[in-house]
Structure 1
Amino acid sequence: MTKIAIVSDSTSDLIDDIVKKYDIKILPLKVVYSDVEEYRDRIEITPEDIYERFDKDIPTTSLPSPEDTINLFRKLEEEEYTHVIVTTISTELSGTMNMIRNVAADFKNMVFEIIDSKALTMGLGFPVLEGAKELEKSNDFEKTVQKIKDTIKNTEVYFVVKTLEYLKKGGRIGKVEGTIGEILNIKPIISINEHGIYYTFKKVRGRYKSIQEIYNLVKEKASDKMVSIAVAHGNAYEEAYTLLEKIKELKNVKDTVFTQISPVMVVHTGPGLIGVVISKHNE
């Protein structure tokens, strides 16, 4: 009998209720302080823990440990799973997918499909969620894989940060330009291209206008097609929630998710991120 597992990593920012409802297995990346303290993302550390220490200590991040990955796959094997679908953070932002592929090669009794979301946060989360819904409906490996891949193609990520400092420090700046613009209070709206690399989608002066521009983007994308929308934030609850409430009033918004970015994401973006993920539905 076919038994299929859905696996993702902690940068998907899927809320606990969704993870539990669809039995999604999550591999945690790590937050590392001074190469000594290591914490599993979302399990052993919270975003608030990082904000509290930012003034004196900015951590780095690392992949899920091979040991955690081996333990998860062993457990799936023991529970008689036959197929495993793993969808990960963009390979341009992390080596997570390559590590998982290497570990999976040793588990010959299960069929693996390992997919690069070319995104992160709910740009990864929505494909995983839609795949889990398809699996619940059909219990079909190929259909579930295809649903995930189709959702990836139809999902877009846009966000603003208070400062580009943390993206620069983490080496995750991609094709985003910023130093002179920051002096002029230019807030780039950052997106992720088809290769999974950050780039400047648009330059806007001031934070208020940048958030308004993100709302306008959602309004435009929802004008002629049903969409699911996620609003994600990093220590910017009130601004993000206000944006969410405005988005809920738009036509063609099928459903919404409100989430806080993972500690690993916080390390690379700093406090103040506001983001939206737009997932377009073909039906």
Structure 2
Amino acid sequence: MAIKVVTDSTSYIENSLIKELDITIVPLSVNFPDESFKENEVDHEYFYRKIKTTGIIPTSSQPSQGSIISIFENIVSNGNEIVAIFLSSDMSGTYETAISARDIVLEDYPHAKIEVLDGRTNSMALGLPVIEAARAALSGQKFDEIVDLAKYMIKRVHFYFAPETLEFLKKGGRIGGASALLGSILNIKPVLFVENGKTAVLKKARGSKAAIEAMLERLDNDYKTNGLKHILVHHINCHEKAKEIADKICDKYDFTVPVVPIGPVIGLHVGPGAIGIVYCTEK
């Protein structure tokens, strides 16, 4: 018997780590009018090129209840236990669907142990608790210890990001047309963050450089007051810009700072050129 960790594709964990830590991924989908893709199967460059050439921003859709039931059943039928962590229930119905899938599976496997957690965020802010839970499972920690560790991590991850353009936020209904127009004219870049499962505005900066500096300032404040365990830089189709920021953070704090792309499901709401910083505090 083993403890298996399950998450969804918006965690954006590297494929090598998924394989190494035996993490099971439940994919969300992106949908153009003429074709649909599982998020973890579509090429990112093709995806953003298609948006640019067609002018169409696709929609996203959560996994079906049946697909989650199938994954859960496959795990518990072999005598294994499940710790599942999904993106924020305020951002997607995936978590609620997983809860209902769990309840159905438990009808046929009443002695199975399946814990489904609301990750309260997305991207690698979701991925970090998943990775730590998977490492704990492989090291032989008990079920309740792994669940407690995941909950501890969820409370301590921070995710700040700055879109390069307001177009995607406008088309997604997250800001009004007038705000988007004024922001473009004045070169205003909102610095956003995820708090209590929802996206909120930290500040409005004049230009990309000021937006990035605002994120780095928050990182530095938390480093001084709470200590840091993990830091990484996210990007949407702008690896070189992200690498420069990661190198800057690495030089200042002597941390290894991975650069991790954000996939299509989150990317279609924010747009290419966005930069994000994810970190976990020690307290």
Q: CA deviation at 1:134?
A: 2.0
Cα distance, 1:161–1:92 mapped onto 2, change above 3 Å: same
How far apart are 1:178 and its partner, in Å? 5.4
Which residue matches 1:46?
43
Question: Residues 183, 153 of structure 1: CA spacing in aligned structure 2 closer, same or farther, 3 A cutoff?
Answer: same
Deviation at 1:8, TM superposition (A): 0.4
Q: Which residue of 2 aligns with 1:100?
A: 98
Counterpart for residue 122 of structure 2:
120
SS in 1 for 2:30: strand
Structure having the larger proportion of residues in helix = 2
TM-score (norm 1): 0.90
Identical pairs, percent? 31
Q: CA deviation at 1:31?
A: 0.5
The 1:93–1:240 alpha-carbon spacing in structure 2 relative to 1, beyond 3 Å, is same
Partner residue, 2:82: 84
Conserved? CA contact 1:89–1:120, under 8 Å:
yes
Superposition deviation, residue 3 in structure 1? 2.1
- Which runs of structure 2 are paired with 1:53-202 in the superposition (5 Å)? 53-55=50-52, 56=54, 57-81=56-80, 83-108=81-106, 109=109, 110-172=112-174, 180-194=182-196, 196-202=197-203
Partner of 1:26: 25
Partner of 1:3: 2
Aligned partners of 1:105, 1:49: CA distance in 2, in Å? Answer: 38
Contact 2:21–2:135 (Cα < 8 Å) also in 1? yes
- Please give the root-mean-square deviation of Cα atoms over the aligned residues, in Å: 1.9
Q: Deviations over 1:220-255 (max 9, x none)?
A: 3223513301211001111100001111123373x4
CA distance in 1, matches of 2:29, 2:145: 32
In 2 relative to 1, CA 85–168 (structure 1 residues): closer, same or farther, beyond 3 Å?
farther
Q: Counterpart in 2 of 1:37?
A: 35
Cα distance in 2 between the residues matched to 1:75 and 1:103: 13
Mapped partners of 2:102, 2:244: distance in 1:
43
Give the whole-Å Cα distance in 1 for the aligned partners of 2:145 and 2:10: 24
Q: Say if 1:46 and 1:263, in contact at 8 Å, map to a contact too.
A: no
User: Does the 8 Å contact 1:50/1:266 carry over to 2?
Assistant: no
Corresponding letter in the other structure for 1:269: V
State the 1:179 CA deviation: 5.2
**What is residue 236 of structure 1 aligned with on the other side?**
238
Greater shift, 202-211 or 87-96, is seen at 202-211
- Cα deviation, residue 113, structure 1: 1.0
SS of equivalent to 2:40: coil
- Is the 1:166–1:269 Cα contact (8 Å) retained in structure 2? yes
The runs of 5 or more residues in structure 1 that have no matched partner are: none
Whether contact under 8 Å (2:87, 2:126) holds in the other structure is yes
Give the Cα–Cα distance (whole angstroms) in 2 for the partners of residues 77 and 125 of structure 1.
23
Structure 2 alignment gaps of length 5 or more: none
Q: Distance in 1 between matches of 2:175 and 2:90?
A: 11
One-letter amino acid of the structure 1 residue matched with residue 236 of structure 2: G
SS in 2 for 1:69: helix
Count of residue pairs the alignment pairs up: 274
